[in-house]
Amino acid sequence: MLWAPGDCGVAGRTPVFSESDPVGGSALPHNATVITQGFYAPAMAGMYQWTAELLHGSAVDAGPTACGDEPVNVIKATPALSSQPSAATVGGPMTDQARVTGGANPNGTVSFRLFAASDPQCAAAPVQAFGGVALSSGAATSPAFTPSIAGTYHWVAAYGGDANNNAVSSACADEPVTVAAATPSIATTPSAGGPVGTPVSDRALITGGFHPTGSVTFRLYGPDSSGCNGTPAHTSTVPLPASGPLMVTSDTFTPVRPGTYSWVVTFSSGDANNSSVSTSCGAERAVITAAGGVQGISSGVQGISTPGTGSNLLGALVVGGLLAVAGGLLVLLGVAMRRTTGAVQPSR
């Protein structure tokens, strides 16, 4: 008979395991060895007690042996602990999850400690500690922590154990997690194009990231740089403001050639917590047209002849005037003109 811890010799208690095995024959060899045929898997740790007695029929011939003659110490089981930290970005939440497997139906809690990027050996105090997170279906997840510095952090998860399971913990090197730099966004607003001689500029607003610092560089590529390769036609770099909306405007540039120009804007991070980002070629275009003037109208009028004379008329066209030929007469409404031989000239 096998008695659970604390039950042997206590009235009213029953053994957790009992078995009767034949010794053999009518003679009772007192030096016989009998081994149980069955087995028992203890459900809890502690000091168990075996007792044995010799029966002849239903009568007890010897025993039972005393409690304490055959103690068996059932030690705690040692479960396994695995963990999976979440990905992390500066300014965003990060967590750790621990899973406890094996052992003897482990219950209890898990504690979590997070060590800074500057402490790869986990020797200093953690930057964050969470204790008493209860296991649920064998797993526990830490509350979230928000890192403010990029780098490689280390989680350490520790299962506290219970009556039947030993405590287990991960090691410092088991759970590195790289906190990545944040990635800001660039929103741009280029000025409109126009004829040659029109000044152009670009404006950029930096959003997102984690308190970004640094500068913005504006590059304007000319019509011959469709892939934004080579030397830009114009470059200007503007530092980000220290506070308020992170909006900056490029210096102005006056194109001297018509064609399609392309802006490329680059944010260069001034700290380790933000990544540098750039717009793509062709995302911002400024179309510069040829110089102004009304097409199809020249500064002089030639080839007009007075009917009946064959004389060529040369005259100046005045904006707002109306040129008409009627009955061999040249009339310019709004402008007094006089006729001379072979030409029309304004009167003085």
User: Which amino acid, one-letter code, is at 39?
Assistant: F
Task: Give residue 262's Cα distance to chain centre.
Answer: 30
Residues 6+ apart with CB under 8 A from 171: 156
pLDDT at 21: 74
22, part of any domain: yes
pTM of the model: 0.69
Residue that finishes a domain, picked among 120, 145, 180: 180
Same domain, 10 and 104: no
174: three-class secondary structure by DSSP: helix
For the segment 302-322, the average pLDDT, to the nearest whole number, is 36
Q: Are 132 and 111 in contact (CB under 8 A)?
A: yes
Lowest mean pLDDT among 11-20, 32-41, 79-88, 94-103: 32-41
pLDDT category at 39 given cuts 50, 70, 90 is confident
Q: Are 110 and 160 in contact (CB under 8 A)?
A: yes
How many CB atoms within 10 Å of residue 95?
18
* Strands in 12-101 per DSSP E: 46-50, 54-56, 59-62, 70-74, 80-85, 88-89, 96-101
Residue that finishes a domain, picked among 135, 165, 180: 180
Same domain, 68 and 12: yes
- The CATH number for 147's domain is 2.60.40.10
Same domain, 112 and 151: yes
Same domain, 241 and 262: yes
Residue that finishes a domain, picked among 142, 162, 180: 180
pLDDT category at 34 given cuts 50, 70, 90 is low
Residue tagged 């695995």 (tokens): 82
132, part of any domain: yes
pLDDT category at 94 given cuts 50, 70, 90 is very high
294, part of any domain: no
Q: Render 267-305 in DSSP notation, one character per residue.
A: EEESSTTB--EEPPTTSEEEEEEPP-S-TT--SSEEEEE
The number of domains in the chain is: 4
pLDDT at 324: 34
- Has residue 335 got a pLDDT over 90? no
pLDDT category at 26 given cuts 50, 70, 90 is low
Q: Cis link prior to 64 (omega < 30° from 0)?
A: yes
295, part of any domain: no
342, part of any domain: yes
Instruction: Report which DSSP code applies to 317.
Output: P
- Pairing mode, strands 176-180 and 88-89: parallel
Same domain, 279 and 338: no
Task: Give residue 21's Cα distance to chain centre.
Answer: 68
Of the two residues 337 and 182, the one the predictor is more confident about is 182
189, part of any domain: yes
pLDDT at 274: 98
- Has residue 336 got a pLDDT over 90? no
For the segment 56-69, the average pLDDT, to the nearest whole number, is 77
Q: Are 63 and 34 in contact (CB under 8 A)?
A: no
269, part of any domain: yes
Same domain, 117 and 205: no
pLDDT at 211: 96
Closest by CA to 345, choosing from 308, 303, 300, is: 300
Alpha-carbon distance of 37 to 201, in angstroms, equals 93
Alpha-carbon distance of 270 to 275, in angstroms, equals 9
- Has residue 81 got a pLDDT over 50? yes
Alpha-carbon distance of 267 to 218, in angstroms, equals 9
246, part of any domain: yes
Its domain, for residue 208, covers 184-289
Q: Render 120-152 in DSSP notation, one character per residue.
A: TT--S--SEEEEEEE-BTTEEEPPPB--SS-EE
